Structure 1
Amino acid sequence: MLQEKSKNVAPMPAKAPAVKEIRYHFFWVFQILLFLTLPLWILPTLIINLIIGRKLRDALEIIPKAGPVNFPGYEGVDFNTLEFYNRDMEIKHAPKELFISSEEWFSMKPENVAIPTFDEKVLAAFFLVNPKPTNKWIVVVHGWMQNRYSILYLAKHFYKGGFNVLVYDARNHGSNADSSCTFGSKEAKDLFYVVKYVREKYQGQTLEFALIGNSMGASTILQAVTNYDLAAVGVKSAIFDCGYDDYTHMLKILGKTRVHWHWFWFYYGVKFWLNVKDKFSPVEIRPLKKIQNCAKMPMLFIHGTADQTVPLTMTKKVYSEKIKYEVATKSKKPSELLLVPHARHVESALTDYPLYSKTTLKFVSKWFSKDSKKKTKE
């Protein structure tokens, strides 16, 4: 049984206005002045970029993993555990349906697995195989600084709805070995390998998949469906929850909110350090530029109207582009948009759980085949 909520639970943070998408342009007069004075400012600016860029890059890679944490309200709780998940739900005043007791978790029989990646790393994961046999799988992709436990609030209703569920720790998160986070670049290919792993594990069955992710996980999914033929490996639909459309733009927003500097002073430096230290370029993560590649993949786009991290306009922009290409290709798989009033970043499911669970279940069910029994290859 679930215990009563602790009286020591930290209060919810005061509501802040939703973050707005900032247009990062210089006035033409300023551009002319910069050009005329190039010899005077270019070297000092590059040095400042390298210093602040390194600071921001290091801040982005400080990711809590397994082990006790000292977050206010979570002190002493192991981060990558069911205990942390329930504590997180408690502090965020989540609906009671989202809590998972030890007894319930045991009844779900989570199977721990290790999934190899394309570059010989290993991703910690667990399978939640539904007691009612089905060939339909939901793959859950968590966001930056989350893990396979902390994202269970996106998974539970799918399991209860009769689907198998796979939840895994992204590289450099959770129980995985230290590496580097590439914010959707290598993670997109990891996702492709995760789906292939399930198919190989259940050879002889024709499996179907739906993907759901929030924040970095959502952008990972969008990056994957625009760069890999996921439909060919059985992916029928995807859910994009509060993700970003272009990581170069997101970097500028993160810089403003985390180091409080205009992008001009750090952007080129952080790109340099990400290339040197983490072997990827933010320019690689621009799924919006390739949205035509997934014109035939049904997608549900979700965003909270009070998101304080990723601008709502990013999701609206991706959705609009997706619809445009669906119309152009005469696709019969139109995507959908769900805006959740008053929901903050990655909290749409917590803010209006009945709406979230009903909408997402209906969406994935719409694109799965109607036969709920396991299909076997002849």
Structure 2
Amino acid sequence: MNNLIIDKLIKVLNNTKAANAKFYRDYGWEQLLNLYQQSLVAEYGLNQIDFSNFDGWQKVIINDRIHAIYHINKNNTNKWLVGCHGYSSSKESSALSTFFFDNLGYNIMVFDFINHGESVDGYVSFGVNELNALLEVLEFLIKNFKVKYTGLMGFSMGAFTVNLFSVFDKKYIDKFKVRFTISDSSYIFIKQVFKTVLNFSNQMIQDYIESFMDKIIEKYKKDYKIDVLKYDIVKLIENNKKTVPTLFIHSKTDLVTYANDSQSLFDLRTKISKKDQILIFNTGAHVQTQLEHTNDYLLAVKAFLKSIK
């Protein structure tokens, strides 16, 4: 009985492609991307972001498994921004969330994590598989385009992934010419994310479900060969001697991930990075502060980029 429950919970955790599967099949990623863009502009205005050059996204499939799209700036540039979406999201979402970098003179590449969007099926690990996917995308980028330097921007699960990248192995910072990272609505602890995703309104049911967390993690490691606890980001920061400047962004009213996690990461990194910055908004839903506080958000990013030149 317990094994059946664990299998069902893992299935719930990995039900991340269902939302857009039919849309991809019937209409394609281009239509989804345009729909997202039109909907966001209609609802939020976003007058501070120039979308006149939004057309021209191109599709690539990396290593026959990771679907990515990229956008070349109308002005000749070798600066790149790589965007990483959140849990149960997709490349189209991060394309919209990172497009203001086009206005800043960057080319943009975004991609679907494993078991998201159009990328291959697999298992969501909230860090390990996601980091591997990011490395594959960066490898493709550096081999196929002229790159002066790269910036990484992540949202929620994507934010944790870019935070992990910035401290897990310094050789990749140099190899992929990464100059900065932006972390929007990150978390620190994988177990807490599992609990958040497997959330039930009934506290008795929630307590019962949470009693299976260790078994779920154990099954990931034993049956799927994925150690979701492989990287302890706190220890990695404590043992690290080289990183890149990071801008942390969060909201005090985020109910999915917590502003205290971004603050803790910022505080932990003070010994290894003097150029980190942090912006905590008083209001804003999860990964929605760019939409709800657009002007302040963009000004903070511009100030951060200016400070690290």
TM-score, with structure 1 as normaliser: 0.71
SS of the residue corresponding to residue 164 of structure 2 reads: helix
SS of the residue corresponding to residue 96 of structure 1 reads: coil
The answer for the alignment partner of 2:290 in structure 1 is 349
Q: What one-letter code is carried by the residue in structure 2 that aligns with 1:89? A: L
Q: Distance in 2 between matches of 1:213 and 1:100?
A: 21
- Quickly say closer, same or farther: Cα 1:255–1:174, change in 2 above 3 A: closer
Tell me, yes or no, if the aligned pair for 1:52 and 1:265 is still in contact at 8 Å.
no
CA positional deviation for 1:86: 3.4
Q: Distance in 2 between matches of 1:192 and 1:218?
A: 14
Which of 285, 288, 293 is the equivalent residue of 2:234?
Answer: 288
Which of 54, 57, 74 is the equivalent residue of 2:10?
Answer: 57
Tell me, yes or no, if the aligned pair for 2:49 and 2:100 is still in contact at 8 Å.
no
The answer for the alignment partner of 2:221 in structure 1 is 275
Which of 101, 112, 122 is the equivalent residue of 1:179?
Answer: 122
Q: Distance in 2 between matches of 1:110 and 1:83?
A: 10
Which of 138, 148, 151 is the equivalent residue of 1:207?
Answer: 148
Tell me, yes or no, if the aligned pair for 2:81 and 2:106 is still in contact at 8 Å.
yes
- Quickly say closer, same or farther: Cα 1:94–1:77, change in 2 above 3 A: farther
Q: Distance in 2 between matches of 1:128 and 1:352?
A: 25
Tell me, yes or no, if the aligned pair for 1:67 and 1:79 is still in contact at 8 Å.
no
Which of 60, 65, 73 is the equivalent residue of 1:122?
Answer: 65
CA positional deviation for 1:207: 1.9
- Quickly say closer, same or farther: Cα 1:348–1:285, change in 2 above 3 A: farther
Tell me, yes or no, if the aligned pair for 1:240 and 1:301 is still in contact at 8 Å.
yes
The answer for the alignment partner of 1:85 in structure 2 is 36
CA positional deviation for 1:159: 0.5
Tell me, yes or no, if the aligned pair for 2:13 and 2:198 is still in contact at 8 Å.
no
Q: CA RMSD in A?
A: 2.7
Q: Which has the higher contact order (CA 8 A, sep 6+)?
A: 1
The answer for the alignment partner of 2:191 in structure 1 is 248
Q: Distance in 1 between matches of 2:223 and 2:48?
A: 38
- Spell out the pairing of 1:190-339 with structure 2 (5 A cutoff): 190-202=133-145, 205=146, 207-229=148-170, 230-233=172-175, 234-257=177-200, 260-262=206-208, 265-292=211-238, 293=240, 295-323=242-270, 325-326=271-272, 331=273, 333-339=274-280
SS of the residue corresponding to residue 229 of structure 2 reads: helix
Which has more radius of gyration? 1
1:363 to 2:304 alignment = yes
Tell me how many residue pairs correspond in the alignment. Answer: 299
- Quickly say closer, same or farther: Cα 1:364–1:110, change in 2 above 3 A: same
Deviation per CA, 1:48-89, whole angstroms, max 9, x where unpaired? 4x44433321111001354336xxxxxx98788124413652
Q: What one-letter code is carried by the residue in structure 2 that aligns with 1:214? A: F
Q: Distance in 2 between matches of 1:113 and 1:355?
A: 33
The answer for the alignment partner of 1:68 in structure 2 is 22
- Quickly say closer, same or farther: Cα 1:320–1:122, change in 2 above 3 A: same
**Greater helix proportion:** 2
Q: Distance in 2 between matches of 1:340 and 1:77?
A: 37
The answer for the alignment partner of 2:281 in structure 1 is 340
CA positional deviation for 1:211: 0.5
Deviation per CA, 1:184-214, whole angstroms, max 9, x where unpaired? 1021122122222211112xx4520110001
**Runs of 4+ off more than 4 Å:** 76-80, 98-101, 256-259
- Quickly say closer, same or farther: Cα 1:355–1:58, change in 2 above 3 A: same
SS of the residue corresponding to residue 126 of structure 1 reads: strand
- Spell out the pairing of 1:95-114 with structure 2 (5 A cutoff): 95-97=45-47, 104-106=53-55, 109-114=56-61
Structure 2 gap segments, 5+ residues each: none
Q: What one-letter code is carried by the residue in structure 2 that aligns with 1:172? A: N
Structure 1 gap segments, 5+ residues each: 1-46, 70-75, 369-378
Report the more deviating stretch, 279-288 or 335-344: 279-288
CA positional deviation for 1:365: 4.3
Q: Distance in 2 between matches of 1:281 and 1:162?
A: 38
Q: What one-letter code is carried by the residue in structure 2 that aligns with 1:224? A: F
Q: Distance in 2 between matches of 1:338 and 1:246?
A: 21
Report % sequence identity: 21
